[in-house]
Amino acid sequence: MATRSLPRRRTSQSSSGSSTSDASSSYSSTSQSSVDEDACNMRLTPYWCEYRCIIASRGFRLDTFKDVKQWYHDYAASLGPDGRALLRELPGYTRACRGKDENELCRDDGLPERLFRGTQCSTGVKVVIKAVHLQSREYDIIRFLSSKAVRSHPMNHCIPVLDLIEVPSDQLAFIVMAEWSQKLVSDTPCTLGLFLNALRQCIEHIAFMHAYRIAHLDISLHNILTDNHGHYACIDYELSARFDGVAEPRICSRKGSEVPPELERGDSSDPYKVDVYALGTLLLRAMQLTGYDVPELHTIVKRMLYPRFDQRPTAQQVLQSFNSIVSRMHPARLQTSCPHQ
């Protein structure tokens, strides 16, 4: 999922969709031997107009040309006197103005075709809707992470899922997610304490997933979003996998954003230690991005990036070390401002 991005911002009736129930923690996509796994996990390109009414029946409106123009007008107004002149320079706005029917759907060219922006009608909350195969690993994992049993767990930082809409006749499901920002550090003043809190939430979520035998397998800064109110969330479980009942799982996939050396060589690896390696890279990149060079964290990161996966710590061990380091920091140090703001 991507978030609303100004430079790239905005440059179909079927039978009724069915409601979903909470997933059991014992359910695993690995047990679906009768289903062609590759076909189920392929990226989909739905004809969104065909599903517009189904999505609307669940209280969500897909963005139209009218919605897109209104968004840009609101954005321009927030910029003050110079905002209106800026509109003409934004390709997304000029594209929306070319729409012949304001009520036609207007897809964001900056998003993959499996994603569509929209609005929750009752609240006006902006959402991003993702189309996935009904039997995909991603849908299985999202359904579990957003189930009643675990969604309120303090270490579960999965992006808030507002609805899961199933269309069994087409083997299709729509994941309706809150639209959050991709900024690790928001425009509001940031301190070292707030920055470390963001990193803690990233580590917590991976430790939480591993406790339920789930590996994310595509951890990167691109897959961490924020609501700009101190909450951070993980997205994009497209490569994720569950390993229920597998004592020592091994994988060989090199599809993730941050690939550890053993997979680069073509060897197999522990999926949880693949996540730890990617998480270590995320911590390193986050420090570089913000300018917060925290020497104590480099000690943790070094262990997370060990060439041998069996020498890397677990995500839970990383979390314990991280919390121990932060607990020893002086309050005045935690209030220091972000160097790159």
Domain limit, last residue, from 122, 153, 178: 178
Residue 128 and residue 219 in one domain: no
User: Which helix (H) or strand (E) segment is 299 a member of?
Assistant: helix 295-304
Residue 209, domain member (yes or no): yes
CA dihedral 300, 276, 156, 214 (to 10 degrees): -160
Residue 168 and residue 197 in one domain: no
User: Which helix (H) or strand (E) segment is 312 a member of?
Assistant: none
Residue 204, domain member (yes or no): yes
Angle between helices 271-290 and 315-327 (to 10 degrees): 30
In this structure, the number of other CB atoms found within 10 A of the CB of residue 247 comes to: 5
Domain limit, last residue, from 178, 204, 231: 178
Question: Burial, 237: exposed, middle or buried (Cβ in 10 Å; 0-12, 13-18, 19+)?
Answer: buried
How far apart, in whole angstroms, are the C-alpha atoms of residue 253 and residue 261?
12
Residue 166 and residue 267 in one domain: no
Pick the closest to residue 91 from 63, 68, 61, 59 (CA basis): 68
- pTM listed for this prediction: 0.84
Residue 150 and residue 273 in one domain: no
Spatial neighbors of 47 by CB under 8 A, at least 6 apart, are 12
Residue 101, domain member (yes or no): no
How far apart, in whole angstroms, are the C-alpha atoms of residue 182 and residue 184?
6
Residue 155 and residue 210 in one domain: no
Size (the chain), residues: 341
- Structural domain total, the chain: 2
Residue span of the structural domain in which 305 resides: 192-334
- pLDDT, residue 101, reads 85
Residue 141 and residue 269 in one domain: no
Domain limit, last residue, from 178, 208, 230: 178
pLDDT tens for the chain, 341 residues long, are 433 332 233 333 333 444 443 433 333 444 444 456 767 888 888 999 999 999 999 999 999 988 888 888 887 888 788 777 787 778 788 888 887 888 899 988 878 999 999 999 999 999 999 999 999 999 999 999 999 999 999 999 999 999 999 999 999 999 999 999 988 766 566 899 999 999 999 999 999 999 999 999 999 999 999 999 999 999 999 999 999 999 999 999 888 999 999 999 999 999 999 999 999 999 999 999 889 999 999 999 999 999 999 999 999 999 999 999 999 999 999 999 877 66
Residue 12 and residue 115 in one domain: yes
How far apart, in whole angstroms, are the C-alpha atoms of residue 233 and residue 223?
8
Residue 122 and residue 256 in one domain: no
The CATH number that applies at residue 204 is 1.10.510.10
Residue 144, domain member (yes or no): yes
- pLDDT, residue 111, reads 85
Retrieve residue 131's tokens: 């189309």
How far apart, in whole angstroms, are the C-alpha atoms of residue 98 and residue 297?
51
